[in-house]
Chain A
């Protein structure tokens, strides 16, 4: 099946936008250019009517499907509050593909999300990456399982566990819980090695520790919820102590520690900024973070934390960043190629380039304009909605 999309302004995310055509073969982008070279045997031709063709937006920090909109307590599966360390839980196992927010997000151009556990626990759980599908099942939607381990610092863990009268009730306690988690995992690795050396079967498998081992072996990053500068620095301290890969989530006081983040080479996911300063740790929240992150040239994504801020309107948060002086093309990248790189799926998603998956949206205007809408997306087919 070869589909030619004509008469569109192509925003590739890796080059300047141009007016031209895109050729798709069996769901994979074959070519993009002013006129495609390989234009024989076209099965269907879609006239883009001068719209903007963009990759599906990637919301790299979302709880979509974990607490479906309008479903209340029974469907609240964001935080496993029973223990401060729950690295054995997986957000995939609580995911509800029928969440009405999923088609809504697609309308807003958000086609890919990394679904994380919440921030109540210092060590939360394993996340996964999904893509929009009109078939509402996990099999169709799943891109990657267990792609990161959620962790949290700051007010949330200490608030939750001071109510439960368990560790942690302070920031010191949260760091100690995380540190102990990794020390335990190092001991666990030694035990496994010992059994191997002695030629005995290992009989003490521990799924919490298995997740920690994945982080220590750099198979997956720690995805650490941090708002205030001191929490960000504590996360960086722990990263250095254990030599692990890390992504800082929210990163509300980014500007205060921009040099330290750059030096540590840690990607960050900024947001949601379009919400209230409901906690002390959000006091210095500002849209300027996006502008500064672009000026600094670091790898970052603009995220919604859905349902805190609805994924459907993630594009408007990026638009507001432009209102505060952020570069428009840069903000589009923070919704596409940059989060793709952070999630490690940039070989297939995040830009319009040869060989990548055709995960595309056609816009009738710029997505940062609230009045614009997606005309169609390539997952649903090229039907006008």
Chain B
């Protein structure tokens, strides 16, 4: 057992000086004045602040490698067909991608790795802890499987002129056609096993969640229409223009929204409405938002910068921290495992030498399941 003694802990929405007792990678007890005994290794946290490990629910680390990855390390989009439901991010994931090391050093302890957004139905995503050398051992099992989809101009751009897809009309048609096929597949009495169809029927049976890449408002409305038609669980990822129409936004309040990356150039029609104000507007409407880096679009060691820039909006800091911790945990269905300092949850910590909103603060140490795995120094 390990006793993290006397740290300033971000606990139930405020800072408290607490002791955290960790057994088998999970928080056994969190309280003030836990009496140490000889079975406990003690770590002095007196000068430290302990946040729950940060979570990024939308990245491509490991499948879209940084540094010298090049063609060899680029496995993010299986662009052989616009519908590749049966491919899995896990099968392309390199645990030694420097992007994953950067993540844990910056206090990110759990990330979701998704296929890219070139394909209308891109494939299965996977949730991993950010430390390890064997992908299979880093996997965090989620209660529902994750299926990446993309609407709007990304698939249109990628596939434009390649005979399979010219317009956004066809994007929607491909989704409908394939979901219809999956319905027939489910209803067949005698069927040949088809992994693509298994993945799509998972969506229809609500055993999976569609993680839908979208930017523009018109595409958001199309997604809503289709997902309701087929009764599918889904999230809106990026959702760049959602804040521009409060009426549409209000109608989507039950759908998890993952914003970001916001600190990039808005250089196309897709990113025309890109602004940090979207965080404030949607927050005021009552959305429980999550933030993504889309790493390596924004490498995870710069993920915290979005937190600072949101802070400039003078929002409640509890709401901001939630966007990097408990809200993304809920998106992944892992709110009982990670996302806050709470009894029974994994001992995943980002340990700092001060206020995380202060640019001069460093991540001194990152813990995953009670084991120190990195830090900035």
What residues make up the interface of A, taking CB atoms closer than 8 Å to B? 155, 158-159, 161-162, 165-176, 179-180, 183-184, 186-187, 190, 228-230, 233-234, 237, 256-257, 260, 279-281
What residues of chain A lie closer than 8 Å to B75, measured between beta carbons? 158, 170-172
- With both beta carbons as reference points, the residue of chain B lying nearest to A173 in the complex is identified as B78
How far is A186 from B71 in the complex, measured between Cα atoms in Å? Answer: 34
| Contact B86–A179 (Cβ < 8 Å) | yes
How far is A129 from B133 in the complex, measured between Cα atoms in Å? Answer: 36
| Contact A229–B88 (Cβ < 8 Å) | no
Q: Distance in Å from the Cβ of B38 to the closest Cβ of chain A?
A: 32
| Contact A175–B68 (Cβ < 8 Å) | no
- With both beta carbons as reference points, the residue of chain B lying nearest to A180 in the complex is identified as B195
Chain A interface main SS type: helix
How far is A175 from B84 in the complex, measured between Cα atoms in Å? Answer: 12
| Contact B193–A280 (Cβ < 8 Å) | no
Q: Does B192 contact A (CB under 8 A)?
A: yes
How far is A16 from B80 in the complex, measured between Cα atoms in Å? Answer: 55
Give B110-141 interface residues, CB cut-off 8 Å to A.
Answer: 115, 123, 133-136
Q: Interface readout for B71-102 with A: 1 if CB under 8 Å, 0 if not?
A: 11111111111001011111111111000000
| Contact B88–A172 (Cβ < 8 Å) | yes
- With both beta carbons as reference points, the residue of chain B lying nearest to A159 in the complex is identified as B71
| Contact B193–A165 (Cβ < 8 Å) | no
Given contacts A167-B80, A187-B193, 11 further A-B contacts (CB under 8 A): A155-B72, A158-B75, A170-B77, A172-B88, A173-B80, A175-B92, A229-B95, A229-B96, A229-B134, A230-B94, A260-B134
Partner of A172, one of B81, B115, B195: B115
How far is A135 from B296 in the complex, measured between Cα atoms in Å? Answer: 59
- With both beta carbons as reference points, the residue of chain B lying nearest to A167 in the complex is identified as B80
Q: Can you list 15 contacts pairing A with B, beta carbon distance less than 8 Å?
A: A155-B71, A158-B75, A165-B80, A169-B78, A169-B79, A170-B87, A173-B87, A175-B91, A176-B123, A179-B195, A190-B192, A229-B134, A233-B134, A256-B133, A260-B134
What residues of chain B lie closer than 8 Å to A170, measured between beta carbons? 63, 74-79, 87, 92
| Contact B135–A233 (Cβ < 8 Å) | yes
Q: Interface readout for B176-196 with A: 1 if CB under 8 Å, 0 if not?
A: 000000000000000011110
Whether A175 contacts B93 in the complex (CB less than 8 A), given A170-B76, A186-B193, comes out as no
Partner of B88, one of A167, A176, A230, A279: A176
How far is A186 from B136 in the complex, measured between Cα atoms in Å? Answer: 25
How far is A175 from B135 in the complex, measured between Cα atoms in Å? Answer: 15
What residues of chain A lie closer than 8 Å to B94, measured between beta carbons? 228-230
Q: Does B161 contact A (CB under 8 A)?
A: no
How far is A289 from B134 in the complex, measured between Cα atoms in Å? Answer: 18
Q: Distance in Å from the Cβ of B90 to the closest Cβ of chain A?
A: 8
How far is A228 from B79 in the complex, measured between Cα atoms in Å? Answer: 22
| Contact A174–B91 (Cβ < 8 Å) | yes
| Contact B92–A171 (Cβ < 8 Å) | yes
- With both beta carbons as reference points, the residue of chain B lying nearest to A260 in the complex is identified as B134
| Contact B80–A175 (Cβ < 8 Å) | no
In the complex, the 6 A-B pairs of residues with the closest C-beta atoms, listed nearest first: A167-B80, A280-B72, A175-B91, A171-B92, A172-B87, A170-B75
| Contact B80–A161 (Cβ < 8 Å) | yes
How far is A320 from B192 in the complex, measured between Cα atoms in Å? Answer: 51
What residues of chain A lie closer than 8 Å to B136, measured between beta carbons? 233, 237
Whether A257 contacts B134 in the complex (CB less than 8 A), given A174-B91, A176-B91, A279-B72, comes out as yes
Partner of B70, one of A179, A229, A260, A280: A280
What residues of chain A lie closer than 8 Å to B135, measured between beta carbons? 230, 233
How far is A256 from B133 in the complex, measured between Cα atoms in Å? Answer: 8
Most chain B CB neighbours (cut-off 10 Å) among A161, A183, A187, A233: A233
Whether A172 contacts B80 in the complex (CB less than 8 A), given A230-B95, A280-B72, comes out as no
What residues of chain B lie closer than 8 Å to A234, measured between beta carbons? 90-91
Q: Distance in Å from the Cβ of B155 to the closest Cβ of chain A?
A: 15
- With both beta carbons as reference points, the residue of chain B lying nearest to A188 in the complex is identified as B192
Q: Distance in Å from the Cβ of B123 to the closest Cβ of chain A?
A: 6
Q: Distance in Å from the Cβ of A18 to the closest Cβ of chain B?
A: 44
| Contact A168–B78 (Cβ < 8 Å) | yes
Q: Distance in Å from the Cβ of B148 to the closest Cβ of chain A?
A: 11
Whether A172 contacts B78 in the complex (CB less than 8 A), given A234-B91, A256-B133, comes out as yes
| Contact B87–A175 (Cβ < 8 Å) | yes
What residues of chain B lie closer than 8 Å to A229, measured between beta carbons? 94-96, 133-134
How far is A64 from B69 in the complex, measured between Cα atoms in Å? Answer: 32
What residues of chain B lie closer than 8 Å to A161, measured between beta carbons? 80
What residues of chain B lie closer than 8 Å to A186, measured between beta carbons? 193
How far is A168 from B96 in the complex, measured between Cα atoms in Å? Answer: 22
What residues of chain A lie closer than 8 Å to B74, measured between beta carbons? 170
| Contact A172–B71 (Cβ < 8 Å) | no
How far is A172 from B134 in the complex, measured between Cα atoms in Å? Answer: 16
How far is A158 from B70 in the complex, measured between Cα atoms in Å? Answer: 13
How far is A174 from B80 in the complex, measured between Cα atoms in Å? Answer: 11
How far is A169 from B75 in the complex, measured between Cα atoms in Å? Answer: 8
What residues of chain B lie closer than 8 Å to A257, measured between beta carbons? 133-134
What residues of chain A lie closer than 8 Å to B86, measured between beta carbons? 176, 179-180
How far is A334 from B286 in the complex, measured between Cα atoms in Å? Answer: 66
What residues of chain A lie closer than 8 Å to B195, measured between beta carbons? 176, 179-180, 183
| Contact A173–B84 (Cβ < 8 Å) | yes
| Contact A187–B192 (Cβ < 8 Å) | yes
How far is A155 from B80 in the complex, measured between Cα atoms in Å? Answer: 15
How far is A260 from B136 in the complex, measured between Cα atoms in Å? Answer: 11
| Contact B71–A176 (Cβ < 8 Å) | no
| Contact A169–B80 (Cβ < 8 Å) | yes
Partner of B93, one of A168, A174, A184, A230: A230
What residues of chain A lie closer than 8 Å to B76, measured between beta carbons? 170
- With both beta carbons as reference points, the residue of chain B lying nearest to A240 in the complex is identified as B136
What residues of chain A lie closer than 8 Å to B80, measured between beta carbons? 161-162, 165-169, 173
How far is A234 from B74 in the complex, measured between Cα atoms in Å? Answer: 16
| Contact B89–A172 (Cβ < 8 Å) | yes
What residues of chain A lie closer than 8 Å to B95, measured between beta carbons? 229-230
How far is A128 from B276 in the complex, measured between Cα atoms in Å? Answer: 63
Most chain B CB neighbours (cut-off 10 Å) among A155, A173, A183: A173
| Contact A167–B70 (Cβ < 8 Å) | no
How far is A168 from B79 in the complex, measured between Cα atoms in Å? Answer: 8
Q: Distance in Å from the Cβ of B200 to the closest Cβ of chain A?
A: 14
| Contact B193–A176 (Cβ < 8 Å) | no
How far is A184 from B134 in the complex, measured between Cα atoms in Å? Answer: 29
What residues of chain A lie closer than 8 Å to B96, measured between beta carbons? 229-230, 256
What residues of chain B lie closer than 8 Å to A187, measured between beta carbons? 192-193
How far is A257 from B96 in the complex, measured between Cα atoms in Å? Answer: 12
Q: Interface readout for B241-277 with A: 1 if CB under 8 Å, 0 if not?
A: 0000000000000000000000000000000000000
How far is A187 from B194 in the complex, measured between Cα atoms in Å? Answer: 9
How far is A2 from B84 in the complex, measured between Cα atoms in Å? Answer: 64
Q: Distance in Å from the Cβ of A171 to the closest Cβ of chain B?
A: 4
